[in-house]
Amino acid sequence: MSLKQTIFISLTIVSFIIGVHRVLIDMQTVSVSEAIGYNYWIFMISIAFITIFRYNRKKQNS
């Protein structure tokens, strides 16, 4: 695994953990679905990083 791939997978994990943490914090004041909706953009960043990671891995293997 290259340094670039390591950075992408690390950013994926960090952004997902931040998203889950924000949902848990927001659940104290609003419902679960609203908390997920408020932090949806954080989960989308996580999905973008995992997509870039998978694309980079596939490109490196070819």
Task: Say how far apart CA 25 and CA 44 lie, in whole Å.
Answer: 19
CB 8 within 8 A of CB 55: no
Residues 13-52 pLDDT 10s: 999 999 999 999 999 999 999 999 999 999 999 999 999 9
Q: Which of 22, 23, 15, 17 is nearest to 50 (CA)?
A: 15
**Contact yes or no for 35/48 (Cβ under 8 A):** no
Q: Is the pLDDT of residue 60 over 90?
A: no
Burial of 48: CB neighbours in 10 Å, binned 0-12, 13-18, 19+? middle
- The predicted pLDDT at position 32 comes to 93
